[in-house]
Amino acid sequence: MPRYYIDLHDGTQPIRDEVGFDLPDLPAAQAKVTRIMSAIARDMLPDVERQDYVAGVRDAVGKVVYRVRLSLATEVLEG
């Protein structure tokens, strides 16, 4: 079974996955990273003007094969 690594970056600090996940194929890796990003979205802080996250999926040889971007931008509208 192929191993995929999911690296995260929150705009300030990269987090490199050194362990990885044994997953049957790229669609399974896409589903895994989507679940991870969904959990991050649920925990985003509502009082921050902007939050950005990027997750990159690497294959066993280190090539980035999939990328997901998640952004939250808030603004107060007066009137």
What's the token pair of residue 4?
A: 């995929």
pLDDT at 78 over 80: yes
pLDDT in tens, 51-76: 899 999 999 999 999 999 999 888 88
Instruction: Count the Cβ atoms, other than its own, within 10 Å of residue 23.
Output: 17
pTM of the model: 0.86
Q: In the prediction, which pLDDT does 58 show?
A: 98
| pLDDT tens digit sequence for 7-37 | 999 888 899 999 999 999 999 999 999 999 9
Q: Nearest Cα to 51, choosing from 3, 1, 4, 13? A: 13
Render 17-79 in DSSP notation, one character per residue: -SS-EE-SSHHHHHHHHHHHHHHHHHT--TT-SEEEEEEEEE-TTS-EEEEEEEEEE------
